[in-house]
Chain A
Amino acid sequence: MTGREAALPGYAPLRRPEVENYLNRASGIRSWIFTLDHKRIGILYLCSVLTAFLAGGIAALLVRTELLTPDQTIMSANTYNEMFTLHGVIMVFLFMIPAIPASLGNFILPMMLGAKDVAFPRLNLMSWWLYVSGALCAVISIATGGVDTGWTFYTPYSTTASGNVVAMVFGAFLLGFSSIFTGLNFIVTMHKLRPAGMSWFRMPLFPWALYATSIIQILATPVLGITLLLLIMERTLGVGIFDPALGGDPVLYQHFFWFYSHPAVYIMILPAMGIISEVIAVFSRKHIFGYKFIAFSSIAIALFGFLVWGHHLFTSGQSDMGNTIFSALTYSVAIPSAIKVWNWLATMYKGAIHLDTPMLYALAFIFLFTIGGLTGMFVAMVSVDTHLHDTYFVVAHFHYVMFGGTITAFLAGLHYWWPKMTGKMYSERWGKIAWTLIFVGFQVTFFTQFIMGAKGMPRRYWSYLPQFQPYHVTSTIGSYVMGTGFFVVAGLLLHSLYRGRQAGPNPWGSATLEWEAASPPPWDNFSETPVVGDPYDLEAFQHEPEKVTWVRTLPKERLQENHG
């Protein structure tokens, strides 16, 4: 690392003649919003999900600000209900589900496979347009009455509450199909567009994670689709399927909803784990440990994920037998998750660890995800969950997994692939400052919530007993620190676009194929089809400070003939 860092200060940006790449080949708004190029669609998605993240983040900060005092601080109780619903809906449906697969995945996956594009470019574009339509529905819903049901839209409240629930639910329905099309595209791409020589076990681990994610997107999301349609039918036509007054069953809605929405949390976390597998190996300068175990544990998590939805219904009157089985199955998810964590630790063991910004985020991921995962074991136990259900403990738990996991990994991936996507290096120093703010702010915000949740503070409450105020104040201060950190990230990334050093093709010394393309990549990704090698052949690279890149010093190992 010292060699690389020494080259940075005052290093003149490389002056290169303007080479044609995917960014400068065509211009104008139409060349973007109707593009079929996976890289441009990835960038469209990136801009969209970051906008959603900003909106959802502002909603979160407003919610936290309201909670500074037990009485009204800045908004009424009704506005508060709408605000946390908005935060949940935006963050889940508009940000976290598409964040990694549709933005980073769209950009990187075909390049990792040495392909020119995903299998169905038009479907890919349609997925983005569905995303935009879904987002518009959400905006319409907010403008015409808002929604205060919470992001889960539980019946019978959601079928009777005022506000425009239908528009919001229809938006989520469209977003579901956007997600299905991304998953479908990725599976076909991985099956049919791998180059000669890339067998399944020569595929990097990020594609493996995306494959597992896509399975869930394809098999779980349609059930959400039909559930939301039924909810719309119930609300508009009164078909009675979830209405106890008409003989319907509201708990059936919860079963349907969580049959999708529990697997959906694995849609959020699996691609994050894929990013971590890449980053940990590259910044430890060491071959990934336990490649097949990491690959198969992704698939295992995806499959187990379908069998655990009942743990959201421990207190909904589910039978004891059901509770016991769902509890046991939930525990089993810990096995593949722990396999991954131990493999990452083993990869770092005796590695040459470089603490660049992506690696810092990856380390934060391991730390926060482990806490989030282990507290998941608390709430997976029926007796403990009966106490903790619907308290801030659960809020803290899933924020440790979703935020500490998914968003931290998203930031790791964003920083890691930023030079590839834009051709520019960001400020490493500011990257570390932002990381510190986010990491510390996160702990202050959410660790406090574990404590107050265990003490009995219920979630979603506008008001609370005075003894909880110190916790709420601490948590809110933490959220401000974290918010500041995100603005620093935005600043340093935008700054890099204008003032950033030119990035070489391989600024981190990675062995996966996307780094063999220029930065930013040309229209068809590779000027010549790359030769497939071991994706974690990291010890074959040497850093060349004067070229601001890493170069391969050992040849790629010879492929066996029967691959492909």
Chain B
Amino acid sequence: MAEAASHHDVHGHDPSLQHHFDNPEQQFDSGKLGMWLFLATEVLLFGGLFVAYAVYRANHPEIFVYAHQFLDKRLGGINTLVLICSSLTMAWGVRAAQLGQQRLLKILLSLTILGGFIFMGIKYVEYKQKWEHGLLPGKHFTHKEGGHAAEKAPAPAAAAPAAAATPAPAGTAHAGAAAAQGAATPAAPAAAAAPAQASSGTLKLEPSLIKRAADGPAGLAPTTRAGAEHEAAPDKVWIFFGIYFLMTGLHAIHVLAGMTAIGWTLRKATLGAFGPTYFTPVDLVGLYWHLVDLIWIFLFPLLYLIH
């Protein structure tokens, strides 16, 4: 969008004004509105992940409380500071562009990109630690604690005691409820049957996953185990790391995209493209960078500072 707004058309006297706009103000306003709308789509893109976070945290609070201690608060905190500082240099850069301070603009844009590099470097260190300890999502989870890694493989025999410990009573209660309320909600057994075809073996261990209507809101997986039963390590800790890697990974991709965009702006700045009459790309890229920072501001407490 920033690119579109700065498109040079060989028309008229002002090289930065495209032919279909009446004046620079109209062009600037269009670019700005377009960027805000784009940011709205970005918020919704992350929105899906925030919903997934909310659902799984509500259903498995003990996993989140347990697993977050594997994250390094110190590194996460440093990264938060780095991004806040880079937001400052970015906002200052927009100001410099508006005032035509070419040298300052170039320095500030470079510092912002540097902030991005530091952030990604620290992120790399964090990811590497998780990788080495096997703190990975889903089937890649190999950490010795909290995973019951042996059980999650298709080995029903090994998992059977665990299943008997907690879910089985729930299962029988479930069946009783089903008999009692069968007439009221005839749809539920049919619905449970459909996904069961694909993974019937594992569903026996987790009978309440596709909940009956009476069991709670939205038919989502309930809290299957209370944290008290597993002081040491709850089951299925990899759920947390699935959420962690998806959210921070998508965010990291956005940081890289932002760095690329700022790099492109920096190149244009070295050519002297910006000044008091034309600074749209700096402004728009700045908005994007602030959004990337803002998402991290939400991710940091949600993932690192749980209790």
Residues on A facing B (Cβ under 8 Å): 36, 115-123, 156-157, 160, 180, 184-185, 187-188, 191-193, 218-223, 225-227, 229-230, 233-234, 237-241, 243-252, 255-256, 313-323, 382, 386, 389, 524
Contacts and interface: CB of A to CB of B under 8 A. Distances in A.
Contacts, number: 198
Q: Interface size for chain B: under 10, 10 to 19, 20 to 34, or 35 or more residues?
A: 35 or more
Interface in B176-196: 184-188, 190-192, 194-195
27 contacts: A36-B7, A122-B3, A180-B41, A184-B34, A184-B38, A188-B33, A192-B30, A193-B21, A193-B26, A219-B44, A221-B41, A223-B44, A226-B46, A230-B52, A234-B138, A238-B138, A239-B242, A240-B138, A245-B199, A246-B239, A247-B235, A249-B220, A315-B187, A317-B188, A317-B210, A319-B217, A323-B213
B29 interface: yes
Contact of B245 (A119, A185, A239, A320): A239
A86 to B, nearest CB: 22
A79 to B, nearest CB: 21
Given A192-B26, A240-B138, A313-B219, A249 B199 contact: no
A222 B206 contact: no
A251 B220 contact: yes
B33 A192 contact: yes
B128 to A, nearest CB: 17
Contact of B214 (A160, A219, A233, A320): A320
Contact of A222 (B45, B55, B192, B213): B45
B203 A244 contact: yes
Contacts of B195: 156, 244, 250-251
B33 A222 contact: no
A237 B238 CA distance: 13
Majority secondary structure of chain B interface residues (helix, strand, loop or mixed): helix
Nearest to A189: B30
B220 A246 contact: no
Contact of B198 (A156, A230, A321): A156
A241 B4 contact: no
Contacts of B211: 317, 319
Contacts of B103: none
B160 to A, nearest CB: 15
Nearest to B25: A192
Given A246-B139, A317-B219, A319-B216, A226 B33 contact: no
Contact of A120 (B4, B212, B239): B4
A240 B220 contact: no
A314 B138 contact: no
B30 A188 contact: yes
Contacts of A180: 41
Nearest to B138: A240
B37 A184 contact: yes
B14 to A, nearest CB: 16
Given A122-B3, A243-B199, 7 more contacts: A120-B30, A239-B242, A240-B138, A249-B209, A249-B221, A251-B195, A319-B211
